[in-house]
Chains A and B, each alone.
Chain A
Amino acid sequence: MTRDVLKPLLMAAALFTASVSHALPKDGVVYTVNYPLQFFAEAIAGDDLDVVFPAPPDVDPADWTPDLDTLLDYQAADLILLNGAGYAEWTKGVYLARSRLLDTSAGFKDRLIAEESDEVPHVHGPTGAEVQGAAVAFTTWLDLSLSRAQAEAVRDAMVARWPNHAAAFSQRHAVLDAELAMLDAALSEALTPLRGRHVLASHPVYQYLERRYGLDVTSLHWEPDLTPPPEEWAALDALLGQRAATVMLWEGEPTQETRAALQARGLRIAVFPTLSNRPPEEDFVSILRAAIDAL
């Protein structure tokens, strides 16, 4: 009887507490340019700050450009977390307060991976200067040691901006860091059988994963939701003829036809999402853990 009375009371109290805590004004607003940074920021900020990643769920945040209202929201944010490495080009053409911008990869610029660009550089006049800034691979967070460095940069920026929450931020960061370290170790272990072996990738997005975990990746330009045309298959066959591979990394689940055709060629499909945008369900850690388990 007592239990029957207490249970609804406790539930009501919990609901009230939750609603009050939800309604409490946060100390600041943090905007991010991709989902991994949103995840790190939320994990560190807890309920103390509002963390916003405003990209629609169906876009690639690397190529997305916010509309005017969203740009004004970014401009008004207390802290704007950039991925760096040339990610989210739109940030170069808009006016955001420099002192509130944090390039989370600034601390490891020397570890960024340069990419070959198809673009031919131009100059004005024979002695003109070239446009600077080589193309750089930007999915830095797929090297979990770099993810940890980015999360650390986020913590430092938050502590500097909101020193009254320093202890809580540091405490939560420690939990996140431990989780990322575990994922790093687990991923390293899962990829050990593939170390030094030739692996295919559906897109050139696994550069940091390749370097960190010692893979030898050849990237194609295949979309998960499209079955490649015959000439792409011919090119793949030619590639496999030169260098055998047994695994192909995919950002998303390929079509049934693609899967069957790849399996027929002896390729195992490993879906390893880049997590640039927020997943419809679960989170950064659980999805990576699942991907590692699948590996």
Chain B
Amino acid sequence: MIGAIYLAWAHIRYHAGRSVLLVLIFAILGAIPLMTERLATLAEAQLLERANSTPLIFGPPGSQLDLSLSALFFEGEPRAELSMIDFATLADMGLGTPLPILRTHSARGFPIVGIDIEYLEFRQLRISEGRPMVRLGEAVLGADVAARLGLGPGDKIQSEIREIFELAGAYPLRMTVTGVLDRVGTPDDTAIFTGLRTAWVVAGFGHGHENLATTQDESVVLSRDEGRIVANAKLTEYIEITEENASSFHSHGDPDEFPLSAILIDPNDERSAAILRGRIEDAGSTRQVFRPLGVVQALLDEVFRIKSVLNMLVAAVTVATLMALGMMIWLSLKLRRREFEISHQIGGDRSAMVRLVGAELALLIGASAVLCIALLMLIEVFGADLVRALLFGG
């Protein structure tokens, strides 16, 4: 048997190019279905984990999937159809902790997410560098935002104006970075978090400017009487909140009507969650509350239905490739018929030929298996990060 292995190894080395090709083909055929299966499992786990860690989402009526993608993954067009009245209603129910979210503009390609400070605790987001935002105009960065932009505590990041002629009149706001969050492998790594009030300023629902009662520049005043000063469009707003001008920042209109994109709810317990859902459903169709786990699971079921079709295609391609390989090996054996005849003529028995071919195939398949396992180990080590990067852009 040793002789057969020796001869097989010599043959493989002699036909090194062909042998490497065969090893690669066998390895890829084995690894691709296993790797895709593993990556799909990791992706499913990460998507479900995000959904599972969010008991309830409260939002306007409409697509639960869109709302889930927006509130959980900060994906999709930012919308803000809720208001602080909704937040107050939920808070008054006392059935859980409502966590408001306002997705508004972006800064250097990353979403700006207005939150209450409790969001950080709810998501167990720890500050790795610096401190949490405390004052108006401050922000903390997700780990990937900080790494990719090379920003840290003390740096500035400016919001982008969404449209060139933004009719809402939102000026860009230069925010001060006060901290960087630990990397957690979720969409929180790629977000810029700031307080709701700062997010409202970014969205044009608050601003700061010189005191119109004492200004020396009358050209910014349209009219002035004892009861009211009307400013015109020439009045320049501050684009950065500093210690000196912070007190000049204010909002016009009813603060109760300031917008929110969604409200995550951390219910006190299962019973509270059920009561809360019942109350919202009883209240009519202007609002909805749902478990994002079910929505994300339904999305994944759809994805996996498509995946099963893809699996069948991969299986068909695998079978075809194996048949081609079989044909190639059979042709190769035919080409080696003269070699086998000479071997028989000089005294070798027929089983030695079988052992030689068997050893050769075993060595090739063994090498392919080693390569396949190495690829799978790579997926095991880096797969989670790869999936995170693919899903959440980290």
- A: residues with CB less than 8 A from B are 68, 71-72, 75, 92-100, 119-126, 128-133, 160
Contact = CB atoms under 8 A, between A and B. Distances in A.
Contact of B134 (A75, A123, A128, A131): A75
B91 A120 contact: no
Nearest to B225: A120
Contact of B195 (A72, A95, A126): A95
Interface stretch (B3-11, B146-154, B243-251, B357-365): B243-251
Given A72-B134, A93-B249, A120 B118 contact: no
A125 B251 CA distance: 15
A95 B226 contact: no
Interface of B: 87, 91, 94, 97-98, 100, 116-118, 121, 131-136, 138, 169, 195, 197, 212-213, 222-223, 226-233, 235, 246-247, 249-255
B134 A68 contact: yes
A107 to B, nearest CB: 12
A98 B231 CA distance: 33
8 nearest interchain CB pairs? A129-B253, A95-B195, A122-B229, A129-B252, A97-B118, A122-B212, A95-B117, A99-B97
Contacts of B227: 120-121
A125 B232 contact: yes
A122 B209 CA distance: 11
Given A94-B134, A132-B253, A122 B230 contact: yes
Contacts of A75: 117, 132, 134
A122 B97 CA distance: 36
Contact of B226 (A120, A123, A130, A160): A120
A128 B233 CA distance: 11
Contact of A125 (B98, B222, B247): B222
B230 A125 contact: yes
A123 B252 contact: yes
Nearest to A127: B230
A122 B228 contact: yes
B117 to A, nearest CB: 5
B135 A95 contact: yes
Contacts of A93: 135-136, 197, 246-247, 249
B228 A124 contact: no
Contacts of A124: 169, 230-231, 233, 235, 252
A204 B254 CA distance: 28
A74 to B, nearest CB: 9
A27 B230 CA distance: 52
B229 A95 contact: no
A119 B213 contact: yes
Contacts of A96: 117
A95 B94 CA distance: 21
B259 to A, nearest CB: 14
A95 B228 contact: no
A183 B118 CA distance: 39
Contacts of B117: 75, 95-97
Contact of B231 (A97, A119, A122, A160): A122
Q: Could you say which of A71, A72, A99, A125 has the most chain B C-beta atoms within 10 Å of its C-beta? A: A99
Nearest to B96: A99
A94 B195 CA distance: 9
6 contacts: A95-B197, A120-B226, A122-B231, A125-B231, A129-B252, A132-B254
A276 to B, nearest CB: 20
Contacts of B223: 126
Nearest to B233: A125
A99 B135 CA distance: 18
A75 B246 CA distance: 19
A126 B231 CA distance: 8
Nearest to A74: B134
Contacts of A92: 197
A131 B213 contact: no
B135 A94 contact: yes
Contacts of A129: 252-254
B234 to A, nearest CB: 11
B310 to A, nearest CB: 46
B64 to A, nearest CB: 25
Contacts of B232: 125
Given A98-B116, A120-B229, A122-B212, A131 B133 contact: no
Contacts of B134: 68, 71-72, 75, 94-95
A97 to B, nearest CB: 4
Given A129-B252, A131-B251, A160-B94, 11 more contacts: A68-B134, A93-B249, A95-B134, A97-B118, A98-B91, A120-B213, A120-B228, A120-B229, A123-B228, A124-B169, A124-B235
Given A71-B134, A97-B116, A121-B228, A126 B213 contact: no
Contacts of B228: 120-123, 130
A98 B212 CA distance: 32
Nearest to B194: A95
- Most central of A68, A122, A132 by chain B CB within 10 Å: A122
Contacts of B91: 98-99
B179 to A, nearest CB: 11
Nearest to B100: A98
B253 A98 contact: no
Contacts of B230: 122-126, 128
A92 B250 CA distance: 10
B389 to A, nearest CB: 31
A256 B70 CA distance: 67
A253 B97 CA distance: 47
A131 B118 contact: no
Nearest to B221: A122
A130 B252 contact: yes
A96 B115 CA distance: 11
Nearest to B224: A120
Contacts of A97: 116-118, 121
Contacts of B246: 93
A70 B279 CA distance: 39
A60 B231 CA distance: 34
Given A123-B228, A125-B233, A132-B255, A95 B133 contact: yes
